[in-house]
Structure formats: C-alpha cells, structure tokens
Amino acid sequence: MEIVVGIGEAKIAASGILKTIGLGSCVGIAIYDVKRKIGGLAHAMLPKSNGVKNAKFVDSAVDILVEGIASMGGSKANMVAKIAGGAQVFKHLSLENLRIGDRNVEAVKKALENHRIRIISEDTGGSLGRTVYFYLSDGRMLVKYSNGDVLWI
C-alpha cells in the first residue's frame, strides 16, 4: 500500500510505503523505530516554525513525527532518521539567494540532534527535484531524481 505525503504534511504508518513527490528546496524527513518497525515521513518546506505547530516547518515536522511514532508504541531510543531533499531548483532566481534548501537541511539536522535521533543516511543538496519512497517493512528509502536516476539510502 502506498500512502502519499503531500507538501507540508507528515504521516505515520506501521506498514506499506510512504511516498512524497517532488521535493525541491523542501526536505523529506523519515524517522523509523527499528524495533517496532513504525515510521513516519514528512515533506517540510521551511526551516523554522512561526510558533504554530505545522508539518510545513522542519522543526515542527520532526516533533510531529517523533510524537506520532511514540503514540503508536515506538520509543525514541530506537528511532533513526534518513533525510533527502534541499535542492536548489532555480539557477538564476535572485530570491534563491535565501538558500532555503541548505537552511532546511541544517534545520533538520539540528532538530534531530535536539531529539538525539541519529541520521543514518542522507542525500541532500544538488539542483534536482526528488521523489522519495520510504519502505516501512525495513526502513529502506528510495530516492528517485527528476532526471530518472535512482538511489537507495
């Protein structure tokens, strides 16, 4: 079963595949309880929340995933993370100087560190959009680039 995680959303599941399409400057955050095999995937757009807890912000998304997995019986001590995304899609747009992609990646690393969750693999940066598939049976993550290339992380 494939569950699509939309832009700015976070979803938790205990089986099947969580998928998020078209990560540009956004970052895909997968957190997995390796013992209970429960995991969550978020598609977060911006580094820092404005006070509202919403998965479109990286810091909130990590909180929402951790709490969601815990509420389904997972425990933080068994959680690991994989991240992908944070590309720079526009080559010339002056606003892209804001480096949202890089800042999103920095923010997710910091948020995970605050929760003491280890990142076991990542594929971030570059200039290509990504679609990711997160397999809850074993925690594998497939990154599919917009040019057709694929990568397992």
Partner 1 sequence: MVEIKFNAEQMDALKELGNIGVAHAATSLSTMLGKLIEMSVPSVKLAEISKIHEFFDEKPVTGVVTALEDMENGRSGYLFIAFPNSDRLVKLLTSDQSLQDSTLMEVGNILSSSFCNAIAEMLGIMLIPSPPSFASDLIIAIVEAIVAQIADKGDYVIIFETELREKEEAIEILVTLIPDDNFLGYVMKMMGMLG
Minimum distance between the CB of residue 28 and partner 1, rounded to whole angstroms?
A: 11
Q: Choosing from 5, 12, 18, 26, which is the catalytic residue? A: 26
Residue 109 host element (H or E) = helix 100-114
d(CA 87, CA 24): 5
DSSP bridge partners of 20: 132
> Which one-letter amino acid corresponds to residue 45?
M
In this structure, the strands spanning 27-33 and 79-85 are antiparallel
Please give the structure tokens belonging to residue 37.
Answer: 């095999």
Compare residues 8 and 115 and give the one whose CB is closer to partner 1: 8
Is residue 26 flagged as an active site residue? yes
Residue 67 host element (H or E) = helix 58-71
Chain contacts with partner 1 (rule: CB under 8 A): 4, 6-9, 21-26, 45-46, 50, 54, 56-57, 87, 89-96, 98, 100-101, 128-131, 146-147
Compare residues 12 and 117 and give the one whose CB is closer to partner 1: 12
Name the packing angle between helices 58-71 and 100-114 (round to 10°).
40
Compare residues 21 and 72 and give the one whose CB is closer to partner 1: 21
Minimum distance between the CB of residue 70 and partner 1, rounded to whole angstroms?
A: 24
Active site residues: 26
